[in-house]
Structure 1
Amino acid sequence: VGPSAAAAAVAPVADVGIREFLVKDGAEFLRLGLPTSLPEASDPETLGDVGRAAQESIELVRLRLEQVGFSGRGPVWNACLKEVNRAKTLLDSPDLFRPVSTFDGKKSFSPDRQRQTALLDATRTSLTNLEAAVRKQDIDAVRKYQDAAGTSLGELRELSVPRDALPFAVPDEFKDLPQLRGRATLTCEIAKGGKGEFEREDGTRAKTVTLKMVVDGYRAPLTAGNFVDLARRNYYDNLPIEVGVFPVLFVVRGWT
């Protein structure tokens, strides 16, 4: 399958964000990058992917406020409220649980309906709280409930995606290379070389830090597969890397 076909199978999230809004958060990228049956640059709601459309509206609440440094004025808050109400309306659509079409010739499986219902209820509750926070222009509450709504809806949508499958076919010439069919979570430890230390966000310092990485094989199965394969074979253990003038050691500790 050529690049255009592959692009049509992957969620049409730009490398930098949604429309003019810049996505900076990794969790947002993962939620917006979930596979979909939509062609690139199309309107999710028009084509029936209401879950994707609702996800965009929820994420746009944060993105709109980030663009103005979380100091939104009337028009920005009104736009955020419109996004919340749009997401709430979309969650009532009977098409919300529509599964992703076909992966590698596999039909989407039937997910856990009880889990779906619980996540849908959680998303609705968070959106109700988010609406109230937006009306009060409470930045802290908006951040809290926007993240909660985005996370639960992302988990809900992920239930409809088949595991161990890709939304497009990998060309035969690459079939023998490592592939990540889905996503993998890796934990790595980074240590400062010499007497250097890392400074944490809370101001404390440490010789080592632990990072959690989610590797996305839906969008880059070969690149992701190669990285995970090397991690499994301990390629990165005690590997020195240069960050500015400070050497660090990169060690992958585990994966799921």
Structure 2
Amino acid sequence: MAIGNQRSQSSEGKVWNFFKLPFRQSGATSANTTPSANIQHHHHNPPPVEGSASHSSNSVASVARSLLPTRRRLKLDPSNKLYFPYEPGKQVRSAIRIKNTSKSHVAFKFQTTAPKSCFMRPPGAILAPGESIIATVFKFVEQPENNEKPEKSGLKFKIMSLKVKGAIDYVPELFDEQKDQVSVEQILRVVFLDPEHPSPALEKLKRQLADADAALEARKKPPEEAGPKIIGEGLVIDEWKERRERYLAKQQGEAVVDSV
């Protein structure tokens, strides 16, 4: 048994020496050669061959890079769920904030497993770097069958992203034309909330819906006209009229004096 242990230890030591100290072995074998051979060995570094330590490390690094997840372009809030108030027989709303965290313009698009009972506003858009938007999701809640719990409905939403060049107009066909560049940002699971029982998730949903409504009203307002603003109705015209009347009165007074 002792001999077997010694043999295993010596073989393991050889293996570790082979992987950890490849250059020392080459130096040891070349110790008996001429000095000129040693100089040539130090000045010329042969390229790594297949099976060497450097080649294996490069292969491991490439495999590790391929296994890394794709960097996300969007930040979602909530991050992986869509909350709806559970009101059977009614159309309810949810909201999600989407922010572009990349350094380029990004288009996003919604998809759902229930397109007949759900729709989104906006269904897609293009966000500039750092820009955010609150999307509103509408869902008609059907009456449950066989006492099925709403949490087990299986309804899901998928948000996809696409890097685009500059501020272009959004069209859904962008995702069809560049299928290879489309990334799935997140699959959102639907969670129903009891509107009669307050919860942090329900309060947050109400705040986001209020922000979405305010942003929609702001977009409906016509853009303000450029140029000087008139404070109060007719103030500029009235001031000009008064100046003209004083000027005419002064001219008439001078004419009367001259005639006398």
TM over 0.5: no
Q: Greater strand share, 1 or 2? A: 2
Q: What TM-score do the two structures reach when normalised by structure 1?
A: 0.22
Larger radius of gyration between Structure 1 and Structure 2: 2
